[in-house]
Amino acid sequence: MSLYYKVREPKIASENSSLLILLHGYGSNEDDLFSFSEELPDELRIISVRAPYEMGYGGYAWYAINFDADENKFSDIGQAKQSVQKIAEFIDELKLQYHPTKIFLLGFSQGAILSYSLSLNFPNKVQHVIALSGYLNDELLPQEISENITTDYYISHGSVDQVIPVSWARKAPEKLTSLSLKNEYSEYPVGHGVAPQNFYSFKAWIEKRLK
């Protein structure tokens, strides 16, 4: 496989289990979100992917974030686009191997930014997106977004997030609604992280779509 990953096989055997792909945030690794896996629905096959750019100390990134002299942050858009392409190819490999009925793509922070981008650049490659503590980066969107996308979105953000301002996150549901894409948006009184009630909320969202 083209990207390194960990897998939790479905606890309830079925021929074509649905697939949940986890994309971690900047400076993290595949173990981070994988800690959720034991609590998630038994019928899912869960794949937690490691980002391609090594940062040292066990941390990885989907793309570099650089700072200028005034501490302004800049994303390496070229690297980000390459990572979206790599994730798309990796999903194709997973489809060949597992033949899933549905694919859920769950990203945290940088992983969420790329989840949005992938779903809009590769229409219907995934059926469901869970975007936690991220935002929709216009620089990573196609010039023309397909009118035939049926993917739906679960979006959540911490109202006191100091890494990605909540005002950035709020633009995503506005944009998706303007494109007639189904989405649910919620905020939690936390920083850059996932509150327990947030976890149970997106777990219920996933369960509803497995029925």
% of the chain residues with pLDDT over 90: 90
Reported as a single tens digit per residue, the pLDDT across 151-205 is 999 999 999 999 999 999 999 999 999 999 999 999 999 999 999 999 999 999 9
pLDDT band at 13 (very low <50, low <70, confident <90, very high): confident
Q: How many domains does the chain have?
A: 1
* Cβ atoms < 10 Å from Cβ of 129: 24
H helix or E strand, kind and range, residue 37: none
Q: Is the dihedral of CA 133, 176, 202, 20 positive or negative?
A: negative
pLDDT band at 211 (very low <50, low <70, confident <90, very high): confident
pTM: 0.96
Domain interval for residue 203: 5-210
What does the alpha-carbon distance between residue 193 and residue 36 come to, in Å, rounded to a whole number? 13
Total H helices, total E strands in the chain: 5, 11
Task: Give Cα separations from 211 to 20, 29, 101 (angstroms).
Answer: 15, 31, 12
**CATH code, 156:** 3.40.50.1820
Report yes or no: 107 and 132 within 8 Å, Cβ to Cβ. Answer: yes
What does the alpha-carbon distance between residue 108 and residue 24 come to, in Å, rounded to a whole number? 5
Question: Residue 71 above 90 pLDDT?
Answer: no
Least confident of 53-57, 62-66, 158-162: 62-66
pLDDT of 70 reads 64
Q: How far is CA 97 from the centre of its chain?
A: 21
* Cβ atoms < 10 Å from Cβ of 32: 17
